[in-house]
Amino acid sequence: MSFFAGVAVFFLLVFTSLGDSLAASGRRSLAASDPRHRHRVLELLLDSPPRDRRREASVGTWGCEGRGCGFDARREDPRRNSQLSREMNFIGSVIVGAPEDGPLCLVPTAGIGFRSSGRRACTREAKQSLDKEVSDAKLSVERKGHQGWMKKEGLYFIFPGGGTMFPDGAVKYIEKLGQFIPINGGDLRTALDMGCGIITADGTYFVEVDRLLRPGGYLVISGPPVQWPKQDKEWAELQAVARALCYELIVVDSNTVIWKKPSGSACLPNQNEFGIDMCADSDDPSEAWYFKLKKCASKASLEEEIAVGSIAKWPERLLKPSARVSLMRSGVDVFEADTRRWARRVAYYKKSLGLKLGTPRIRNVMDMNAFLGGFAAALSADPVWVMNVVPARKPLTLDVIYDRGLIGAYHDWCEAFSTYPRTYDLIHVARISSLMRDPVSGRARCNLVDLMVEMDRILRPEGTAVIRDAPDIIEKVVRVARAIRWTVKVHESEPESRGGEKIVIATKKFWKLPSNSQ
């Protein structure tokens, strides 16, 4: 009887006006645990044009209620983590469930006291200070307040910089590092903050840092175990690993140590207590998605050409092809064409499509399909920072992005992106359909609904999504966008474009669940 009652309720919600009114009020949630419901949603939104707008609306306006998809909802699956070996947990891989196992629902755009970036960007106070963020009851200042990372002032959290080793703030700490490292000369552009808690067992941590660090780059460690009480053994091991990898010791200043990585391969790891050797010639140091940490030193291609001091200085390096570009087929021509293409497209976005790039409304930007970083390079004059995401199953071009002085990461977009909800002001993606396909078989590995729900999770309220693809794909994008509470406008691509693409400019609406659903 319970089963038939549930079926009756389901049909009332989906096929009658009752479903419309509940959807419109935001009181319904999609039951991810019901595969029939999920299949119905995907069928209506993706398989064919909807024949009945009312049916589309009844599955379209989603809210997250209950435990399945709350404020911190992600598609990561901690239950699968618990089934892994200790070795995998040591590696720290993020294990996620299959897309069809994830919650098909939306994280509410508003918590208690939350205000959108668009609303606060227009205030005088926001223009005067870029180091403030609106308070949210979900955040907590107690954990790190004593270290000076984050403090609460009235309605705001402020981020003065700090930590156990530099309580006077990040600026003073960086000024101190500038006495030993050429920070201001244009040779250094990207930096990696590894945090505290150095692991010295078998040198695994250090060789992974070595893989990431540019030849001639600098490694700074502040805090344990550097000259730390009761950690003499760990400090000695850390120094031994550095010597095994032929790092030059620059300075030990109190609890801070600075090393410099060799610029070339003249000094190879000798026999050492950690068993570190050079990686095989067949090893590709750019392969880093679900690869185990290796107990060998990577051989970087064109080491001396890409070393600190050899590569062009900032900002010239942004537009100048690096030596690693030459490893690509027709690399220099592809690089220069891609740079021109994105300069033209971004200019079109600003002048013809009215994107608020270059204004206080947009600060945090993501390019989901970055390739060589041309989109980010075209924004270099704007007061933004861009996270360049290179899909893990596409050509591994992240090294070229870093050679340009930009930042980025690999990611498989059929999985959750490891970031806090409501992070980015603008998300840009070209050829969104390619992010879901296997490059070898050409088959879809996940679906557009899951991907756009994940985009919604990381997009700020009243933030903007820019999606460009073929017209048939854009038609489906529009359908899903409306279903997840985005307002949508479709534009023609720039006149110089030859691909016949269309462009969606979507805005994530500002909404919250009813008070009795919070």
The model's pLDDT over 45-91, given as tens digits with 9 standing for 90+, comes to 777 555 555 444 444 444 443 333 444 444 445 555 555 554 544 43
Provide CB contacts within 8 A for 75, sequence distance 6+. 96, 97, 99, 102, 103, 415, 416, 450, 454
pLDDT at 350: 95
- Other beta carbons within 10 angstroms of residue 184's beta carbon come to 8
Which structure tokens are listed for 432? 């969104």
pLDDT at 318: 97
pLDDT at 239: 93
Residues of the chain with confidence (pLDDT) below 50: 9, 11-15, 17-33, 54-76, 86, 88-97, 112-114, 116-138, 518
- Residues 220, 211, 161, CA angle at the centre, nearest 5°? 35
Per the CB < 8 A criterion, the answer to whether 427 and 458 are in contact is yes
Answer positive or negative: Cα dihedral of 396, 397, 400, 406: negative
Per the CB < 8 A criterion, the answer to whether 391 and 372 are in contact is no
User: What is the spatial distance between Cα 80 and Cα 97, in angstroms, rounded to a whole number?
Assistant: 7
- Reduced to 3 states (helix: H, G, I; strand: E, B; else coil), residue 289 is coil
User: What is the spatial distance between Cα 7 and Cα 37, in angstroms, rounded to a whole number?
Assistant: 11
Q: What phi-psi label fits residue 292: left (phi over 0), alpha (psi between -120 and 50 degrees) or beta? A: beta
Which structure tokens are listed for 385? 């920072």
Per the CB < 8 A criterion, the answer to whether 369 and 411 are in contact is no
pLDDT at 313: 94
Q: What is the DSSP letter of 435?
A: G
**DSSP string for residues in 41-80:** HHIIIIIS--S-HHHHHHHHS----SSTT-TT--SB-HHH
The domain made up of 316-508 has a fold known as Rossmann fold (3.40.50)
Numbered ranges of CATH 3.40.50.150 in the chain: 316-508
User: What is the spatial distance between Cα 12 and Cα 79, in angstroms, rounded to a whole number?
Assistant: 34
DSSP-H helix ranges across 113-169: 117-121, 124-128
Backbone angles phi, psi at 223, to 5 degrees: 105, -165
- Other beta carbons within 10 angstroms of residue 318's beta carbon come to 18
User: What is the spatial distance between Cα 299 and Cα 285, in angstroms, rounded to a whole number?
Assistant: 7
Angstrom distances, CA of residue 462 to CA of 63, 69, 120, 481, 486: 16, 20, 11, 13, 9
DSSP-H helix ranges across 444-510: 448-458, 471-483
User: What is the spatial distance between Cα 223 and Cα 119, in angstroms, rounded to a whole number?
Assistant: 40
User: What is the spatial distance between Cα 416 and Cα 77, in angstroms, rounded to a whole number?
Assistant: 10
Angstrom distances, CA of residue 59 to CA of 49, 55, 451: 14, 7, 17
Which structure tokens are listed for 492? 């023609």
Per the CB < 8 A criterion, the answer to whether 413 and 392 are in contact is no
Which structure tokens are listed for 136? 């949210």
- Residues 334, 339, 343, CA angle at the centre, nearest 5°? 150
User: What is the spatial distance between Cα 431 and Cα 470, in angstroms, rounded to a whole number?
Assistant: 8
- pTM (two decimals): 0.81
* Amino acid letter, 158: I
Rounded to 10°, the helix 204-212/232-244 angle is 50
